[in-house]
Structure 1
Amino acid sequence: MRKTIEPNLRLIKDYLGSSDIFSIPEYQRKYSWTTKECDKLWQDIDDFANAGGEDPYFFGTIIADCSERNKLNIIDGQQRTTTFLLFCKALQLVLSDILANFKEDEDSSTLKRGLTNSLDLVLRILYKADDETVENILDDWDSVEKPVILENKSINEEFKDEFHKILSAKNFDIAEKSVHRFYKKQKDNKYTGFFKNFKSFYEKLEKLDKDEINKIAKCFLGKCQVVEIRSWDIEQAIAMFNSLNSTGMPLDDSDIISAQLYANANDDKEKFNSIWENLVETTNNLEQRKIVNLSGILQEYMYIQRAKDGLEDVNMLGARKYYLDAKKELLKDPVSLSSNFLKIAYIWEEIKENSIIKLLLKFNENAKFFLISYLFKFEKLEQKEVENIAVYLLRLFVILDIVETGYSSSNFKSFLFRQNVNFVKENYSFEKLNNELNEHINNFKEDDLRERILSYDNNQLVFLNEFLYAKSHNLKFNFNDSVNIEHIMPASGKNKTSIQEDAKMSNEDFSFYVNCLGNKILLEEDVNKSISNAWFKTKKQSTIKEKKGYKDSKYHIASALVNYESDQWTKDDIEKANEKVADRIIKFLFDKK
């Protein structure tokens, strides 16, 4: 009888040096290790090397499916395997540099031999090299074709060729120039996890002297071990993937669910893979913008499905339990389910720059679930529908921000779960929804909300005030990520004492009024920095030593202050502005025309 499982305790050099090609299957998660996990790996290796122990160091279990000839399909351990190889590449570059500049004497021959042996071993691992190939690589790097030793077929991985670009590079600079850079990201954040982790190892190794590197290389390759479990049964392998995760990162709900969908795709695997890869690419872009990730989209569809089933219960299952247990029939049609996930991602792509949506999400992330439930029913999104539901939810979540009650109270979460059942109904008019919201909001006392607004000292309502001011004057509303909250009467700075004295305010009064909504506006970061903590007259003037002022702002309240009737901004001015803010917000909340 053919064996189905074969466990082996193997040194890292033997595991990585296998003649088989490592392969990341379609259903696996993307490469997710960060420099935090790599730092821990490095520290483990460094501590073990410096301890001088003779016993091997154990790095956990690797589970691989061997049902394909000459391939190790990694089921559990892909994060570590990928990282081990990135570490080997960093080690190869540093060893090559050291040996190219090695100054030999009688006492260093043993050290050079040890470094040379380690480089030889790493080259054999990274390039499946024999003796002749190793010699060719050392003599002429560019003349030797670099084989793919790890192929990434994961439908969750957007940057499948990043790993090979790094391994194929002759030196660090070439590797850096060849890899992907994220738009507008700074420093190391502009790189993928592959390059960030490789760079982290390379920089650590570069700081070591020859003896330390020799010790690290010999320890990692010749004294560290993994348990490699090979399976020749693909179904058994997937079952192990779903139930086991040895010393790697915990699996996300999306990892488990995508694996199950892949297993269920059968004859539709190609179509499912195409949809899922599109989904991953779209959500990765959305995640970079801090809008939504793949797990979030799975949750949002769960809200839609629960609402379609008429469930108003606020007690939610986790996504994994919902899809794998409570609603497991959804997983039987992977193409349909993944298409629905992709539709949600496309909705986010379409609405992500909408100014009212951006404003809504400043108040509460839970708004996302109900926003998508409503918009999902439309085959084609209309601007009117997007703004209708955004304003609807905004009114409720603004009240939540003002009052002291939490989201979980019946006035908010319970109400929204009941309404969500109506959100997903195609023939349920928005007018009816809005009337139900008006009726619900009338349960709040207008005077109480107004009093809270007048003493409000947080910043979310500053954004709302700008939106409402723009709306009342038929002006375009938008804000960017670099917007600042400007205190018209400065809250700090060298002029604070003089301004406080001119305003004839005690410390207690000043602390209250300076943080009132009537003293806060939106302002571009560069304008805010330019005027800093200047006097009100200075801020509104047209030219002050080429500095920018309110005149240069695209925010409407700031530009309107340029024509303010007084050159002073006092306690009375703040009180008047505060009353206007309260009037705008109350009118908005209670839907007063």
Structure 2
Amino acid sequence: MIKSANQHPVFSLMSPQSNVLYKVPPYQREYSWQRAQWEALFDDLIEAEGAHFLGTIICLDQSVDALEATVFEVIDGQQRLTTLTLLMAAIHSILNEQVSDLDEDVKIDLVNLRRQIVRKGDTAPRLTPQRQGSNYNDFLYVLGQAGLPVDGSWTGYLSLRKIYKCFHHFKAEILELAETRDTSPVEAALDVLAAVNKAIIVKIEVASHSDAFVLFESLNNRGMPLTPVDLIKNHLLAQSERKQVMTVEDAFKLWNQMLTSLGDSYANQERFLRHYYNAFKLDLPQVPNAPVATKASLIRIYEALVSHDVENFMDDLLPASAAYGRITGVLDEEQPLDKAFAQLNRAQAAPSFVLLLWLLRRRDTLVIGDPQLERVASHLVDFFVRRNLTGFPQTYALPRLFMDMITALEGGQYQGDDVPAAVLNRLRQASSTEQVFRERLLGPVYEENSDVARFVLATLAEDAMTKESWQDLWRRERGHYVWTIEHVLPQGQNLPAGWIEMLGGSEAAVAVQGEHVHRLGNLTITGYNSTLSNKSFGEKKHRKDSFGRPIGYANGLSLNAYLMETETWTAEQIEERTVLLADQVASRFALA
């Protein structure tokens, strides 16, 4: 995993005589350190007794010709190296402004500092930061302003961006240090330079990007460590450039096109890469010891796939990502099939997306259209309601279940309507028994899985709606559902007196709460949960807003019809409504 791990003073890492260059890969975020981090670094350096420890950097040797240059890709540590370079540039700027007054020894220090920042001979910057946006151009411009032989150009709003601010912050800090110590700016700059050059960094070299990610986990990086998706992207960019298949910029555009289809959720991006491999494993280059893509094996798998055929790697990945984006609702075409996919997402059916991805990409071969896919999605919803409430089959068994379905369907004996029928048959075999499912429905479903409870209640309510009575029970405002689960009998400890009296006294109320509060019969859906809160049963039923509109259980949902018909709410009513709703749910999600 680790090729080497050694501590070095900064002067050694960025030696004026060395041929070493450090490059930040395109996948990294732009420079992001701010004033608090600049101040902390500067104070730590000048206040240190001896050499200050600056932490670790993780590098991957990407040299092509060792005689020309040793190029290290900075996997972790780019923020520190960029900040140190800007600090050294600020020191160079102050010394260079006084160059005519410097003695010969200090002039030698200035030359050495210049060669630490830019390589002797071709004046290439020792560090090449991330190129996105104006980040790289700002860096070159600032180095040029510091008196270094680097060409950079001013771009609009430069003074508002972090690289420019960092450089000028350090210049101001050095000048303020000179005033505080009652010394010259040159002396203060040399003191800071000495502190920088003797500061210690542990440089860890790894053999592959996969090793880098494993190392992040083992070190428990507290910053923003690279994800497997980041590292796979980096490997694609590096291989594209190394094999001269396409430019880094073109490869980066293709990768971002894929991410656009998948949305901003990292979980969705990472899951797509796992599902893509698991769905099309038989068509992909063989990866040793990788029967199933897992989070642990993902980097190794994709490094192998990219290295095998970087030129055609994105050809199928891009349309597959578009299909996955539709399944997950990122790319909604507002067709009946997309509504079926939305229900799948609400039913927490993500493990089945591998099957749907394969079906969407093979629909022509299987002779299936949207109606067949809608039936498959409906069967999967039924299956996952049962599975997520009973816990059977276990989570670890789900990838293999759907991969086995793909293998069976891939044989060619199923086409058209036979495809959803074959899926249904396999789901029935894998699902829990009716007895187990019903037992869970009669138990504390909210406590077992509140998302399943909400989904089944919302589904029952939606099934009874007409066009005139339609309510969007999945509408969100400010990131939260407008319609939420309401406990009819409140779940809080301090029950109001009216509830205690209805339930037969304090002890009885506690007993009823403990046994029944989270059961299906005590749950409903309302858009005014916080308004109803601990109010009495009568108030919850008939409450109205300031305009006279019903906001209690008279809100028009069929789910609340039973509640409107009873005058009391005790263990008997909860039990009766629980059985009633359990029957409806068992019938509605019957895998039929």
TM-score by length of 1: 0.62
| 1:76 alignment partner, SS class | strand
Look up the match of 1:152.
130
Query: Displacement, 1:515?
Result: 0.7
Q: Does 1:487 align with 2:491?
A: no
**Kept after mapping to 1: 8 A contact 2:351/2:399:** no
Query: Displacement, 1:381?
Result: 11
Mapping of residues 8-87 of structure 1, within 5 Å: 11=10, 15=14, 23-25=23-25, 29-31=27-29, 52-54=49-51, 59-60=56-57, 62=59, 75-86=72-83
| 1:450 alignment partner, SS class | helix
**Kept after mapping to 1: 8 A contact 2:375/2:420:** no
| 2:544 alignment partner, SS class | coil
Q: Does 1:303 align with 2:287?
A: no
Task: Select which of 401, 420, 442 maps to 1:454.
Answer: 442
In structure 2, the CA distance between the partners of 1:549 and 1:376, relative to structure 1 (3 Å rule), is farther
Mapping of residues 349-368 of structure 1, within 5 Å: 349-353=325-329, 354=338, 356-361=340-345, 363=348, 365-368=350-353
| 1:288 alignment partner, SS class | coil
In structure 2, the CA distance between the partners of 1:165 and 1:582, relative to structure 1 (3 Å rule), is farther
**Kept after mapping to 2: 8 A contact 1:486/1:520:** yes
In structure 1, what residue type is equivalent to 2:317? F
Looking at structure 2, the residues matched to 569 and 263 of structure 1 have their Cα atoms a distance apart, in angstroms, of: 67
In structure 1, what residue type is equivalent to 2:433? K
Query: Displacement, 1:423?
Result: 5.1
Query: Displacement, 1:52?
Result: 0.6
Task: Select which of 355, 377, 380 maps to 1:393.
Answer: 380
Query: Displacement, 1:366?
Result: 2.4
Query: Identity of aligned pairs, percent?
Result: 13
In structure 2, the CA distance between the partners of 1:279 and 1:75, relative to structure 1 (3 Å rule), is same
Task: Select which of 237, 256, 263 maps to 1:280.
Answer: 256
**Kept after mapping to 2: 8 A contact 1:542/1:551:** yes
The one-character-per-residue Cα deviations of 1:337-374 (angstroms, maximum 9, x if unpaired) are 32322223222333433565455345354233333233
In structure 2, the CA distance between the partners of 1:211 and 1:371, relative to structure 1 (3 Å rule), is farther
| 1:316 alignment partner, SS class | coil
In structure 2, what residue type is equivalent to 1:478? W
- Bigger shift: residues 335-344 or 51-60: 51-60
Task: Select which of 340, 347, 351 maps to 2:316.
Answer: 340
Query: Displacement, 1:502?
Result: 1.0
In structure 2, the CA distance between the partners of 1:450 and 1:329, relative to structure 1 (3 Å rule), is closer
Looking at structure 1, the residues matched to 313 and 496 of structure 2 have their Cα atoms a distance apart, in angstroms, of: 59
In structure 2, the CA distance between the partners of 1:290 and 1:327, relative to structure 1 (3 Å rule), is closer
In structure 2, the CA distance between the partners of 1:542 and 1:447, relative to structure 1 (3 Å rule), is same
Q: Does 1:369 align with 2:354?
A: yes
Q: Does 1:508 align with 2:514?
A: no
The structure showing larger relative contact order (alpha-carbon pairs under 8 Å, at least 6 residues apart) is 1
Task: Select which of 450, 453, 464 maps to 2:456.
Answer: 464
Looking at structure 2, the residues matched to 16 and 400 of structure 1 have their Cα atoms a distance apart, in angstroms, of: 61
Look up the match of 1:498.
498
Looking at structure 2, the residues matched to 176 and 407 of structure 1 have their Cα atoms a distance apart, in angstroms, of: 56
Looking at structure 1, the residues matched to 242 and 473 of structure 2 have their Cα atoms a distance apart, in angstroms, of: 49
**Kept after mapping to 1: 8 A contact 2:21/2:69:** yes
In structure 2, the CA distance between the partners of 1:9 and 1:176, relative to structure 1 (3 Å rule), is same
Looking at structure 1, the residues matched to 191 and 394 of structure 2 have their Cα atoms a distance apart, in angstroms, of: 53
Look up the match of 2:148.
none
Looking at structure 2, the residues matched to 12 and 432 of structure 1 have their Cα atoms a distance apart, in angstroms, of: 66
Look up the match of 1:521.
524
The one-character-per-residue Cα deviations of 1:477-532 (angstroms, maximum 9, x if unpaired) are 635341243212221275445314313344222222211122223445xx323333
Q: Does 1:532 align with 2:533?
A: yes
| 2:381 alignment partner, SS class | helix
Looking at structure 2, the residues matched to 58 and 447 of structure 1 have their Cα atoms a distance apart, in angstroms, of: 58
Looking at structure 2, the residues matched to 177 and 491 of structure 1 have their Cα atoms a distance apart, in angstroms, of: 52
Mapping of residues 259-274 of structure 1, within 5 Å: 259=235, 262-263=238-239, 269-270=245-246, 274=250
Looking at structure 2, the residues matched to 76 and 448 of structure 1 have their Cα atoms a distance apart, in angstroms, of: 55
Query: Displacement, 1:547?
Result: 10
In structure 2, the CA distance between the partners of 1:84 and 1:356, relative to structure 1 (3 Å rule), is farther
The structure having more radius of gyration, on CA atoms, is: 2
Query: Displacement, 1:248?
Result: 7.6
In structure 1, what residue type is equivalent to 2:324? W
CA RMSD of aligned residues (A): 6.0
In structure 2, what residue type is equivalent to 1:460? D
In structure 2, what residue type is equivalent to 1:366? P
Looking at structure 1, the residues matched to 159 and 549 of structure 2 have their Cα atoms a distance apart, in angstroms, of: 39
Looking at structure 1, the residues matched to 426 and 532 of structure 2 have their Cα atoms a distance apart, in angstroms, of: 45
The one-character-per-residue Cα deviations of 1:553-587 (angstroms, maximum 9, x if unpaired) are 9x974885699334654444433432333123211
Query: Displacement, 1:466?
Result: 0.8
